[in-house]
Structure 1
């Protein structure tokens, strides 16, 4: 069970690293919704890493799983909104959005602008893999994290007393 938390943390680190690669190497600028998703991946990943390090018993595991579910569902909502905007760009207002202005004023955006500064277009769906855009994949991954955390929430840990 502990290894699952480590895998979630590593997947989150890999996804955020790949997003940074797409930004810096391919010039795909993140939009405000992308930045919110990055923040959700950071929160899920750090929570999973703490759960791996802490190796909690039932109550602690449920707290960590609850946080992972919360952060994953928040990320899924944002990813779903962006996936919708990619398909229906006419529903999106052009110009600097309040979200972009808010995000770019946060200390995180000033401290690490490459990671947390929003300058892209939320309706850009040029990157695709297996006919799915980045927000589509992000939505699926966040939902998978929620499902996995939900299963971990319900599972019983294997202890030596259960093996007798």
Structure 2
């Protein structure tokens, strides 16, 4: 028996929560500090999770479900795009890697908000470092896989009848 819409939204929320807890574990217990693109990916995981939580609590029917699933789908696709860019940067030849930029705190203290956000999405040389991998895939590659699953679930939710 398949889970109903509400249960599936809670599953999406739980998955996003697990991803963020894993990222925090890697940061604070393993000492793997996030680069700007990592932070951006985290933001989109949180956005998808919050949309799913809102949908689970609201338990929408019909068009409302399509709105929530569409918002989750778009957020997941943007996150997947950021992950794909990150993997691309990691696979560039050394001479083509962008220069390392300023730290996140400095960016948000010094630049206007939209300029800081643009720099965050762009990534820098710090993003090219592969600091951890599992089964030959880096953290951004695994995050891309996670976004692909979240996108698939959100798409499926939009097709389902309430």
TM-score normalised by the chain length of structure 2: 0.81
Deviations 1:67-116 (A, max 9, x none): 1011100100000000111121533222215988545669xxxxxxxxxx
Q: How many corresponding residue pairs?
A: 148
Contact 2:90 2:128 in 1 (8 A): yes
Q: Equivalent residue for 1:52?
A: 56
Q: Equivalent residue for 1:62?
A: 66
Question: What's the offset of the Cα at 1:129?
Answer: 1.3
Q: Which residues of structure 1 form unaligned runs of 5+?
A: 107-117, 158-164
Contact 1:40 1:75 in 2 (8 A): yes
Measured in 1, the distance between the counterparts of 2:158 and 2:136 equals 33
> Is the partner of 1:36 in helix, strand or coil?
helix
> Given the alignment of the two structures, is residue 3 of structure 1 paired with residue 7 of structure 2, yes or no?
yes
Alpha-carbon RMSD: 2.8
> Is the partner of 2:100 in helix, strand or coil?
coil
Q: Equivalent residue for 1:39?
A: 43
Measured in 1, the distance between the counterparts of 2:75 and 2:156 equals 16
Deviates more, 1:65-74 or 1:80-89: 80-89
Deviates more, 1:60-69 or 1:81-90: 81-90
Question: What's the offset of the Cα at 1:119?
Answer: 10
Question: What's the offset of the Cα at 1:121?
Answer: 2.0
Q: Equivalent residue for 2:127?
A: 122
Contact 1:75 1:142 in 2 (8 A): yes
Q: Which residues of structure 2 form unaligned runs of 5+?
A: 112-122
> Given the alignment of the two structures, is residue 80 of structure 1 paired with residue 84 of structure 2, yes or no?
yes
Counterparts of residues 86-101 of structure 1 (less than 5 Å):
86-88=90-92, 90=94, 91-96=96-101
> Is the partner of 1:122 in helix, strand or coil?
helix
Q: 1:120 to 1:86 in 2, by over 3 A?
A: closer
Question: What's the offset of the Cα at 1:34?
Answer: 0.4
